[in-house]
Amino acid sequence: MFIRTQTNGPRTYLLLVENERVDGRLVQRVLHRFGRLDELQASGQLDTLVRSLGRFAEKVALLDAHAKGEMTSTRTVTLGPGLIFERLWQECGMQAVLQEQLATRRFDFDVERAIFLTVLHRLMAPGSDRAAQRWKQDYALPGTEALGLHQLYRAMRWLGAPLPAAAQTGATPFAPRTQKDRIEEALFARRRDLFNQNLHLVFFDTTSIDFEGTGGQTIGHHGHSKDHRPDVRQMVVGVVLDADGHPVCSEMWPGNTTDVKTLIPIVDRLKQVFHVRDVCVVADRGMISAETIAALDDREWSYILGVRMRSSTEARAVVGAKGRWTEVFPARTASHDPAPLQVKEVRVGEHRYIVCFNAEQARKDRHDREAIVAALRTALSHGDKALVGNRGYRRFLKSQGTRFTIDTAKVEDDARYDGLWVLRTDTDLEPLVVALAYKHLWMVEAIFRSMKSVLETRPIYHQRDEHIRGHVFCSFLALVLRQELERRLAAKRWSLEWADVMRDLDALHETTITIDGHAYLVRSEAKRTVGKVFQACGVAIPPALRPAEAPGVPPEPGGGRVTTRKTRL
């Protein structure tokens, strides 16, 4: 049914017609003749007719009210982040696990909602927990409206609170088991069937996170700072990833815990608490020591460990050993090609080593060393001793009385390691598989970069250990959600910049307006990456215009939770 015109000579008439099929052909049937178009326009009857019909068309009524100034806007909220990450929060099992853990507790507020708010704030606008309480006011996050700052702190404290003494089985020597450990283990158990009882390959690394102020009660200590801040107290954070990049668990230890002591407690926890029977641990050279390797052998767990190149006598022998190189990746022909890689296997006694060589890295190492030596020659000709304090420069110097000169033997020795790294393993895997597995350790390093820069976990302003653990664990959960969203986008073969995704989701707004006592929700345009993100997560974009749930009453921003929203979208 539609409106059309009919022209007879100089006159044009307005008709209401509909299409009907007669003998297999579409025929227009006139339902009503409104009259001459020019007379309808001159008398204003056409405008009256349109306004009358507009009462039954929401979009037309909205435009008409806007033109007359009769529309009242009550509130605008950001819609995108809540819709997407609420769905991921549920489908990753986080909501269900938290509710299970909270079933026996009697808090006077919704702890699960407080944790979700804090985690989402880490993703969208990293900052302190105090900032999260203010940030939520402009977002559609059902269930978080009444949460106060003290309740966010209580939720952090619950996450980091030590478990009873009877539940401390599997605790590391450096810190007690806490509530966040149970949550990690429950999340792993929900997707355990994906691993067939085994992780097969896990990646582990640590980093240090500093405090603002005095630090935690027992977790804040001075130690080796990977951020080169020995002046501040810090904590050590370790993260375990599986072969697909899924975060498995995290550990938080006092800041004076050395890396070489951290690997075995992680292995024991995976075996005792996660009940993983067989695994190959991939870790950086900072984790390796004779005691660590002996402990792994005792536990009959496989390993791929980086070797300290210049401080290990055995590594020097391995680098100098003869062997046949196997090319894994040739020299690049395009920028997106993998970096060139060659590998060879070397055995020293009963120990198996894999030597890896990157020709591009070798050229860079040589160029960097030549630049350092040239700078040293120029500086030392003026008697500049300040360079001695620079570790990168000092390794090429030797002292002669009160003077320093360039040690050519050290320069030549350093050149032996250009583009090389050495791995020690007790597996029977092919050398190229060992090398590629170790290269995947960058996933953990990328997670730490996200925790520190993107999610701004540091510095930490909390003072109590429980709050500190809860604060860092929320960053861990945020990274789980980020990895899940990136995995879903990759499954669609969409390569989207994370910053673009966050910006576009943050630009999806919903405004509540009131017309003649009736409330409506008006959505902004879904721009750029929004459509792909919603499609990858299986979430429908809300209609551009929809009535509120109760006429005259502003609706809950963004509708209900995802579980109830499905029926409306």
Q: Which segment of 203-217, 336-350, 398-412, 548-562 scores lowest on mean pLDDT?
A: 548-562
Residues 371, 389 share a domain: yes
H/E element, 174: none
Read off the pLDDT of each residue in 139-150 and give the average, rounded to a whole number.
Answer: 91
pLDDT in tens, 368-377: 999 888 888 8
On average, the pLDDT of the chain sits at 82
Residues 488, 451 share a domain: no
Give domain status of residue 468, yes or no: yes
pLDDT of 365 > 80? The answer is yes
Q: Percent helix, strand and coil across the chain, each rounded to 5?
A: 45, 25, 35
pLDDT of 326 > 80? The answer is yes
Task: List the one residue out of 191, 192, 200 whose CA is nearest residue 282.
Answer: 200
Q: Report the share of the chain in percent with pLDDT over 70.
A: 83
Does residue 179 sit in helix, strand or coil? helix
Query: Are the CB atoms for 369 and 410 separated by under 8 Å?
Result: no
What is the length of the chain?
569
Structural domain range at position 512:
75-160+464-558
The pair of structure tokens assigned to 549 is 């749930």
In the chain, the amino acid numbered 528 is R
Distances 393 to 367, 406, 411 between C-alpha atoms, Å:
14, 10, 11
pLDDT in tens, 107-135: 999 999 999 999 999 888 877 777 888 88
Residues 156, 7 share a domain: no
In the block, tokens 């880490």 appear at 122
pLDDT at 516: 67
Q: Which residues contact 521 (CB under 8 A, 6 or more apart)?
A: 510, 511, 512, 513, 542, 545, 546, 547, 548, 555
Give domain status of residue 234, yes or no: yes
- Which is more confident, 566 or 2? 2
In the chain, the amino acid numbered 224 is H
Distances 120 to 176, 475, 488, 504 between C-alpha atoms, Å:
27, 9, 18, 15
Give domain status of residue 209, yes or no: yes
pLDDT at 177: 93
In the chain, the amino acid numbered 3 is I
Distances 192 to 169, 282, 318 between C-alpha atoms, Å:
21, 20, 39
pLDDT at 213: 64
Residues 306, 199 share a domain: yes
pLDDT at 554: 42
Give domain status of residue 349, yes or no: no
Residues 131, 209 share a domain: no
Residues 469, 449 share a domain: no
For the sheet containing 25-36, what is the strand order? 2-8, 11-22, 25-36
Give domain status of residue 343, yes or no: no
Contacts 24+ apart (CB under 8 A), 336-342: 341/432, 341/435
Residues 182, 293 share a domain: yes
CATH code of 188's domain: 3.90.350.10
Residues 228, 96 share a domain: no
The pair of structure tokens assigned to 239 is 């993260």
Residues 470, 406 share a domain: no
Read off the pLDDT of each residue in 278-307 and give the average, rounded to a whole number.
Answer: 82
Give domain status of residue 88, yes or no: yes
Number of folded domains that form the chain:
4
Residues 308, 218 share a domain: yes
